[in-house]
């Protein structure tokens, strides 16, 4: 069953933000992230977009696509937005390096079936 237009737009937003973050950090180091406040804003913004879109995806779409850890995605966004003064950028780095590639695969699957 195809996604409705709203969920389709949200999945697209998540996918584009994830791809952008992955591409941006492909040739950068953790040290660059830790040492540059301007560079820190990119994952803050990207993870916020991903989390906010995930929060808005319908329960029906989430149930049909349980390969994505929707709760964890939204939870990370809550940390970025509400605990911004205590953000652990090493954690962001791990998310970008380890979790985003898996999320991109899952979102591409959802997108292709839409």
Per residue in 40-81, pLDDT tens?
Answer: 989 989 999 999 999 999 999 999 998 888 998 888 877 766
CA-only gyration radius of the chain, Å: 14
Domain extent for 99: 5-109
Q: Give a yes or no: residue 103 inside a domain.
A: yes
Residue 83, pLDDT > 80, answer: no
Mean pLDDT of 5-31: 95
Question: What 3-state class would DSSP assign to 35?
Answer: helix
Q: Give a yes or no: residue 84 inside a domain.
A: yes
Question: For residue 9, what pLDDT band results from cuts at 50, 70 and 90?
Answer: very high
Total domain count, the chain:
1
The confidence score (pLDDT) of residue 2 equals 76
Q: Give a yes or no: residue 53 inside a domain.
A: yes
Question: What 3-state class would DSSP assign to 37?
Answer: helix
The confidence score (pLDDT) of residue 14 equals 96
Q: Give a yes or no: residue 114 inside a domain.
A: no
Q: What are phi and psi of 107, to 5 degrees?
A: -65, -35
């Amino acid at each position: 069953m195809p996604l409705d237009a709203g969920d389709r737009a949200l999945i697209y937003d998540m996918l584009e933000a994830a791809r952008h973050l992955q591409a941006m950090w492909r040739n950068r180091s953790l040290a660059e992230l830790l040492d540059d406040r301007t560079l820190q804003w990119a994952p803050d913004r990207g993870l916020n977009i991903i989390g906010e879109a995930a929060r808005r995806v319908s329960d029906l779409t989430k149930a049909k696509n349980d390969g994505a850890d929707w709760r964890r995605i939204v939870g990370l966004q809550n940390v970025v937005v509400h605990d911004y003064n205590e953000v652990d950028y090493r954690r962001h780095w791990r998310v970008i390096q380890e979790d985003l590639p898996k999320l991109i695969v899952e979102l591409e699957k959802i997108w292709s079936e839409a």
